[in-house]
Amino acid sequence: MVEGGKIPYQDWAAAKKKENFEKRLTRPVTRELNDTTGDPEAKCYLPGVPRATYIGLPFLIIETAKQVLLSYEFASATRIVYMDRKPKPPADSWMGWSVGSWDGDTLVIDVTAQNDKTWFDRAGNFHSDALHVIERYTLWTPYHLMYEATIEDPKVFTRPWKIRMPLYRRMEANIQPLEFKCVEFAEEFMYGHLVEKPGR
Amino acid sequence: MRYRLLATMIALAIGASQPLWAQKPAGPQAAAEGPQKTTAPYAAPRTAWGDPDLEGVYTFATLTPFQRPAALAGKDRLSEAEEKALEEQLKKKQEENIATNEHFSYNALWFASDQGRPTGRTSIIVDPEDGRLPPLTEYGKKLREQMQAHAATKRIGKDVVVDTWEDLSTYNQCIGRAMPRVTQEYNQGAEILQTPGYVTIFYESMHDVRVIPLDGRPHLDSNIRQWNGDSRGHWEGDTLVVDWTNFTDKEKSDGSAPFGGFPQGNLHVTERFRRVNTNTLLTLVTVEDPTIWTRPFTYELPWRADDPTYRGPDDLFEYACHEGNYRMMEDDITAAKAVRAAQSGKK
């Protein structure tokens, strides 16, 4: 879904991506490894934006006049999108800070202040804390949104780049988001090396 | 001081013998009885589609204890003077904590800004009348004994040992924080958003979202269990009534809800939310599990919109609990090994 097919990494970053891929399922047996190596999603860490959109589990959009709430099944990740004003982020976070507006019938969300700890996917595509994402959600048919995101990070990429994909509305009767609280699935992977006899 | 006045208002509002929403609204009948001294009951504003408007950012922090202290047995309410004395006593204790516990990982400075106010009652529990949790069933007592016995195996002298991640509460593992939420130590902010057919509650703590459909659909199948259960709501006048079931047995009422640490698999909760003034939602929560308690219990907890810590949604910051937990887990389990090694070394 990357427009143009390739992510425009700077040379050092292309090498780093390759290293990320090779070490993507490294068990975090030290603090340093936990902080620097391996796919954070494997540890049930919050996925950041835009990964939360295409992580494979549904999410819910709640729209009110002043705010949009995005509630993702994955790890109960949640984003508040301010629609009626533009407050500034007090600090970096995993899911960033979202300020939204309408461009005709398209919801535009400007996402800043994401930390550098998330990846774009399991393949090791990554970013720095200078990441800036601009999302566009457009109602395409009654059953599809068209989702576009422009991704900019001058520390990692040579230029901004774009992804584009349809989002499919879930049409089941009485559909509701369910829980995917994955921490308990990640604990053995993350902490098993600490206990004498890993496993139940 | 402004906040003391509000505490008094709440005490007066719930001073009637019945909870506020049980009183009949003043109407033609009341008028026919002649002029009254009481003002008309507060009429909650409406959303654009006509539902009572519960929207806002709130904190459910309170200084009132969950259960009535033994020393206050038989006493339902504090006088204004007693409330003020309680607040000052707690403030003094907090200052002492900050001064003496500066190097402790969770000194009172953590909790300084988010302690709330007293409600005017001597306990959050309002039923049973003694303000205490009801007696346990035989099974409940057995469960408690088992939990205490297990906890004893994890204590060596003054130390509580964490041999594996499962020895921590689900809260400290950052899997979830038990519902329903009563007073916690910090991050007691929540936001209510309304859309036609739904009420949505976002809790800052654990960044949890409860989506409450109002269309009368049935609950999830009883085989589907969730950490935060499953909620269904409807309106009774200006009161949102939420039926809450489908809790997983893996969640225990430790951490936030001080119900004694029991598994929640049979829990059934009924919540009532009603706006009683511009800045206050009064919540009345009935909790029942006939396998554990001999009767249901009910507690009354105001959600307040006038706390300087939670003025708007941008005061609800991302609560990335698990993401920050690695070191704690590593330290806890490593320390447990050291404590056990020292113990067997002594023998």
Q: What is the pLDDT of residue B20?
A: 39
Q: Hey, are the CB atoms on B207 and A77 less than 8 Å from each other?
A: yes
What's the confidence (pLDDT) of residue A115?
A: 98
Task: Tell me, yes or no, whether A52 lies in a domain.
Answer: yes
Q: Could you please report the per-residue DSSP string of B207-272?
A: GEEEEEE-S-PPPPPTT--BTT-EEEEEEETTEEEEEEE-B-TT-BS-TTS-S-S-B-TT-EEEEE
pLDDT of residue B157: 87
- For A181, the token pair is 């609280």
Question: Sign of dihedral through CA atoms B42, B47, B53, B57?
Answer: negative
Whether B9 shows a pLDDT value over 50: the answer reads no
Return d(Cα B260, Cα B135) in angstroms, integer: 12
Distances (CA, A) of A148 to A6, A53, A163: 16, 10, 6
pLDDT of residue B94: 73
Give B269-323 pLDDT, tens digit per residue. 999 999 999 999 999 999 999 999 999 999 999 999 998 889 999 999 999 999 9
Q: Is residue B255 part of a domain?
A: yes
Question: Residue B95: what pLDDT?
Answer: 77
CB contact under 8 A, A31 and B208: no
Over 80: is that where the pLDDT of B105 sits? no
Longest dimension (CA), chain B: 84
End-to-end alpha-carbon separation of chain A, Å?
41
Domain holding B280, by residue range, is 48-67+125-323
Q: Give residue B107's pLDDT.
A: 60
Instruction: Please indicate, yes or no, if residue A200 is contained in any of the structural domains.
Output: no
Q: What is the mean pLDDT of residues A33-59?
A: 97
Q: Strand, helix or coil at A127?
A: coil
In this complex, is the C-beta atom of B341 within 8 Å of any C-beta atom belonging to chain A? no
Total structural domains in chain A? Answer: 1
For the residues A134-153, what does the mean pLDDT come to?
98
Task: Note the maximum CA span of chain A.
Answer: 60
**Taking the CB of residue B134, how many other CB atoms lie within 10 A of it?**
18
CB pair distance less than 8 Å for B320 and A94: yes
B208 in contact with A at a CB cutoff of 8 Å?
yes
In a domain, A6, yes or no: no
CB-closest option in A28, A77, A183 to B174: A183
**Domain residue limits at A186:** 11-194
pLDDT of residue B187: 85
Q: The tokens of B148 are what?
A: 């205490």
Is A80 or B345 the better-scoring residue by pLDDT? A80
Helix or strand holding residue A54 (H, E): helix A51-54
In this predicted structure, which of A27-36, A138-147, B233-242, B259-268 has the lowest mean pLDDT?
B259-268
In a domain, B36, yes or no: no
- Retrieve residue A78's tokens: 């949640």
Q: What is the pLDDT of residue B7?
A: 32
Query: What was the pLDDT predicted at B256?
Result: 40
Q: Is the pLDDT of residue B204 over 60?
A: yes
Across all residues in chain B, what is the average pLDDT? 84
The number of domains in chain B is 1
Residue B102 above 90 pLDDT?
no
What is the DSSP secondary structure assignment for residue A119, as one 8-state letter?
Answer: B
Whether the per-residue pLDDT at B16 is higher than 70: the answer is no
Mean per-residue pLDDT over chain A, rounded:
96
Q: Does A141 touch chain B (CB under 8 A)?
A: no
Most A CBs within 10 A among B219, B330, B344, hence the mutation to make, goes to: B330
Among B8-12, B84-88, B152-156, B246-250, which stretch is predicted with the lowest mean pLDDT? B8-12
CB contact under 8 A, A71 and B330: no
pLDDT band at B101 (very low <50, low <70, confident <90, very high): low
- Position B120 scores a pLDDT of 87
Residue B8 has pLDDT above 60, yes or no: no
Which pLDDT does position A22 carry in this prediction?
Answer: 98
Distance of alpha carbon B262 from alpha carbon B280, whole angstroms: 30
Say if CB A63 and CB A100 are below 8 A apart: no
Q: Look up the pTM and report it.
A: 0.89
Backbone angles phi, psi at A92, to 5 degrees: -70, 155
The verdict on a CB contact (< 8 Å) between A177 and B206 is no
d(CA B160, CA B150): 12
Predicted confidence (pLDDT) per residue in A59-114, tens digit: 999 999 999 999 999 999 999 999 999 999 999 999 999 999 999 999 999 999 99
> Is there a contact between B334 and A194 if contact means CB atoms under 8 Å apart?
yes
Residue A82 has its nearest CB partner, among B313, B323, B334, at B313
Give the closest-approach CA distance of B328 to chain A in angstroms: 11
Asked whether the beta carbons of residue B317 and residue A91 sit closer than 8 angstroms, the reply is yes
Q: Is residue B17 part of a domain?
A: no
Within 10 Å of residue B49's Cβ, how many Cβ atoms?
Answer: 9
Structural tokens at position B267 = 């829990």
Is position B156 within any domain? yes
- How far apart are alpha carbons A28 and A35 in whole angstroms? 8
